[in-house]
Structures are given as C-alpha cells and as structure tokens.
C-alpha cells in the first residue's frame, strides 16, 4: 500500500544549507552542506532507522566552496572542484572508515593541465568522468594519469548535469509485507494459486 506518513526525527544542526546532489551509500542518503557559522559538514539520513546524523569533513575543508560529494566504491569522497580552475588539479579525499573523521585521507590529486574541467563522478574504481572546457566527456585514469575522450561534444551542445545512480533495496521502518533480500527475492514462502 502506497501512502505518505510523517516521521518525528531531530535534524542535528540548525540553519543548514545543502549543496549538490545527494549520495546514497551504506543505507543512508548524504548531502554536503554548511552551517550558518560557515563550517562544512555532511548531513546524512539513515533510511531504515529514520534518523539524521552528521559526518565531519576533512580538516583541510574549512569553508564552503565548490566541493562535491561522491561515492567511491563503498566510501564517501569529496572533491575540491575550484582547484581545477586555478591550478588544473583537484584534491581527492576518501573516508576510509565510514563515519570516522580521522579516516579521511587525501587519496591523490587529479591533474589535467591542458584545460579547465569539472569532475562528474566515478565510473570505475580509479576512473573518473570529467567534462572539459570544450564540453567533451573525458575518462581520466587515476592510476596512470591518462585521459581519453568518451563523448565528443557537438557544436552548441554541452553536458549540464550528471547525476550518479546506485541501485539499492532498503527495508523501511514500519513496512508491511515480507522482508526483501538484497537479490530481490522474498523471504516468505510462496504458494500456487
């Protein structure tokens, strides 16, 4: 049965401004945002438990800028996209242990010096999709530092937006019906009618 219902939960911070697109990872929806005192934070909502919580960002991120939040495998990561305009390099932080501020590490720096670019997201473990200043979609291999154009732009066209998508099944609190397994099958027995 489809229906809307209200949940009573506490949002842990006041005057929070969210930026970018949400990332679903580890059963929670994550947003990058900042508080009214200009500190950057990740706000997360656990779908099953229906609770909000905060995740601290790396200490190097001290004020809102052109940061973007991504999922890199099963880890959260943050990219500093403003650096691509300034130096042709983008710092890439990965949270190695989910929820632990001390586990943020500067994995590597994406360096492409030929043009300004914007990181759209990941498509393989160490491969990024990047939009260059010509509107082309470029694959960047982080292990070897090489690039390859995967979608050339036609005159007058430009990619405006790329939104990451990840399939998932999460049992919502208070749902009626059989519990679903990750493979989509039901744990309830079936009978022929």
Grouping H, G, I as helix, E, B as strand and the rest as coil, residue 90 is: strand
With 70 as the cut, is the pLDDT of residue 158 above it? no
With 90 as the cut, is the pLDDT of residue 96 above it? yes
pLDDT tens by residue, 58-73: 888 877 777 888 888 8
Name the E strands within 17-166: 17-25, 28-34, 40-46, 51-56, 67-72, 75-80, 89-95, 104-111, 117-124, 127-132, 137-141, 146-151
pLDDT tens by residue, 18-58: 877 888 999 999 998 888 787 888 999 998 889 999 999 98
- Between 148 and 108, name the one with better pLDDT: 148
Place of tokens 């130096």: 87
Judged by average pLDDT, the poorest of 1-5, 13-17, 43-47, 119-123 is: 13-17
Rounded to whole angstroms, the Cα distance separating 4 from 22 reads 21
8: which 2 tokens? 């009573």
Domains of the chain: 17-151 (2.120.10.30)
**Average per-residue pLDDT for the chain:** 75
User: Facing residues of 180 across strands?
Assistant: 186
* Of 20, 15, 71, residue with least CA distance to 39: 15
User: Facing residues of 45 across strands?
Assistant: 29, 52
């Amino acid at each position: 049965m489809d229906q809307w219902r209200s949940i009573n939960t506490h949002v842990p911070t006041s005057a929070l401004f969210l930026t970018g697109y949400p990332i679903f990872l580890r059963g929670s929806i994550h947003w990058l945002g900042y508080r009214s005192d200009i500190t950057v934070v990740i706000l997360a909502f656990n779908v099953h438990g229906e609770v909000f919580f905060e995740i601290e960002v790396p200490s190097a991120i001290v004020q809102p800028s052109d940061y973007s939040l991504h999922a890199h495998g099963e880890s959260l990561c943050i990219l500093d996209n403003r650096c691509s305009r300034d130096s042709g390099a983008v710092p890439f932080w990965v949270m190695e242990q989910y929820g632990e501020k001390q586990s943020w590490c500067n994995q590597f720096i994406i360096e492409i010096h030929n043009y300004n670019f914007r990181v759209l997201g990941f498509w393989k473990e160490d491969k990024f999709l990047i939009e260059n200043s010509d509107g082309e979609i470029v694959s960047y291999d982080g292990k070897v530092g090489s690039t390859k154009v995967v979608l050339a732009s036609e005159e007058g066209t430009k990619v405006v937006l790329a939104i990451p998508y990840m399939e998932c099944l999460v049992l919502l609190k208070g749902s009626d019906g059989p519990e679903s397994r990750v493979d989509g099958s039901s744990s309830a027995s079936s009978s022929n009618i």
